[in-house]
Amino acid sequence: MSASNYIIGGNDEHGQNPPTANKRTPIMPYLERSIYENEFNRPAKIYYFISLLRSGFNVFDVHPEIYDVPISTRVSRANNANITLLVTFAYNAFGSGQSFNSVSGALTFYSERNVFAERSKELSEDVFLGITENSLQTKGLGISTLANVGILQSVRAPSTLAECGFMTNLREARLMLDPAWQKSIAFGATQGICTYMGEPYISEGNPNAYPILRRNSRGNYVKILQYYLTIYGYDVNADGIFGINTESAVKQFQADNGLIADGIVGRLTWAKLLLTQPSANVLRRGSRGTSVYYLQMKLLSKLYPLGNVDSIFGQRTENAVKAFQTESGLTADGIVGPLTWAMINTLDSPRN
């Protein structure tokens, strides 16, 4: 059998709008707000779907909503879809949840009550190794069991829950907003699934190798396109069909990124979507597009507040860049060139 014969499920714990009560970090210094757990879980799930589709699998989202839904609903959806397996993305906490501590690392869980308990254990092991060996999260705490967790025990397929870090560890809490962190953990989980399924993992690769897409295109790469648009805030349904709504979103995306808004997804549009080299461009006041989105998310993950993430390099983003440059020992000119990018692209921060 090939990857296309399998349906791989994904689930992101909790919700954002409205946010699930208590599922958040302590108040983050400098940002003066909590980070909600689903601010990591949801984009990680989307990047996971992207990497699965790239590797030839079919995917099924048991929680497409931005708000929380009951576990029983998610379980019913998974079982009705006859999924092959399920991975749930989550973030852990230790202690009271009101203050930060030093506990950190990733771990995965399975249920001994799942009808495929042994296979769930194997899946948990492979996903754990995928995350800790192939992502930016290198600290692992192992695998364990959880009882009375419906998403693990009631799904009629091997199921694992990945706690990808600790919201109560300041470093791992702020990294919840880092797109490089989100992406690497998601891609690591997919590498674990490929090991479990005995299928080859297809890396992100060169945007030049991606197919040209246009109105009426269908298939996995249309879904990949739709999921990337979702990451950047465009309202599309990832149904694998390049219809009028997807075309409109593509045209708006192209216009927002300084491309010809023809609705055809070719080499230049893929390059902006994948953003494999965010530091390829020098950014300054007035810049726009996905490189600015990436910059803004990285600055937030380093505890530099800048208001809304809008992919527009305005005054508040410039102020955040200057503060970051000053505290990193760089010239505070507000221009994001090679030296600033080199510091931005790390997981470190002068404020942690």
Using CA atoms, how far apart are residues 205 and 190, in angstroms rounded to an integer? 15
CB-CB contact of 82 with 7 (8 Å): yes
Per-chain mean pLDDT for the chain: 97
Using CA atoms, how far apart are residues 182 and 42, in angstroms rounded to an integer? 9
CA angle 103, 109, 113 (to 5 degrees): 145
Cis peptide before 18 (omega within 30 of 0): yes
The CATH classification number of 278-344 equals: 1.10.101.10
Query: Do 207-274 and 278-344 have matching folds?
Result: yes
Using CA atoms, how far apart are residues 236 and 313, in angstroms rounded to an integer? 24
SS3 content of the chain, % helix, strand, coil (to 5): 45, 15, 45
The CATH classification number of 207-274 equals: 1.10.101.10
Q: What is the CB neighbour count within 10 angstroms for residue 218?
A: 13
Could you tell me where the beta strands, DSSP code E, fall in the chain? 7-12, 58-61, 85-92, 106-110, 140-145, 159-166
For the cut 90, the answer to whether the pLDDT of residue 208 exceeds it is no
Residue 17, both tokens: 């709008």
**Whole-number pLDDT of residue 36:** 97
Banded model confidence at residue 340, pLDDT cuts 50, 70, 90: very high
**Whole-number pLDDT of residue 140:** 97
- Indicate whether this model's pTM tops 0.85: yes
Share of the chain above pLDDT 70, in %: 100
Residues 6+ apart with CB under 8 A from 51: 186, 187, 190, 201, 202, 204
Q: What are phi and psi of 154, to 5 degrees?
A: -100, -10
Q: Which 8-state DSSP code applies to residue 20?
A: P
For the cut 80, the answer to whether the pLDDT of residue 1 exceeds it is no
**Interval 5-16 mean pLDDT:** 97
CB-CB contact of 52 with 87 (8 Å): no
Report, at the CATH architecture level, how domain 3-197 is classified. Answer: 3-Layer(aba) Sandwich (3.40)
SS3 84: coil
Using CA atoms, how far apart are residues 135 and 129, in angstroms rounded to an integer? 10
Q: Which 8-state DSSP code applies to residue 241?
A: B
**Interval 311-336 mean pLDDT:** 98
Domain spans, the chain = 3-197, 207-274, 278-344
Banded model confidence at residue 322, pLDDT cuts 50, 70, 90: very high
**Whole-number pLDDT of residue 352:** 82
**What would the pLDDT profile of 266-301 be if each residue is shown by its tens digit?**
999 999 999 988 999 999 999 999 999 999 999 999
For the cut 90, the answer to whether the pLDDT of residue 206 exceeds it is no
Given CA atoms 201, 119, 166, 133 in this order, what sign does their dihedral have?
negative
**What would the pLDDT profile of 83-139 be if each residue is shown by its tens digit?**
999 999 999 999 999 999 999 999 999 999 999 999 999 999 999 999 999 999 999
H/E segment holding residue 231: helix 220-231
**What would the pLDDT profile of 11-68 be if each residue is shown by its tens digit?**
999 999 999 999 999 999 999 999 999 999 999 999 999 999 999 999 999 999 999 9
CA-based max dimension of the chain: 60
Question: Which among 219, 229, 207 has a CA at the least distance from the CA of 274?
Answer: 207
Banded model confidence at residue 343, pLDDT cuts 50, 70, 90: very high
**Whole-number pLDDT of residue 207:** 87
Q: What are phi and psi of 33, to 5 degrees?
A: -155, 165
For the cut 80, the answer to whether the pLDDT of residue 153 exceeds it is yes
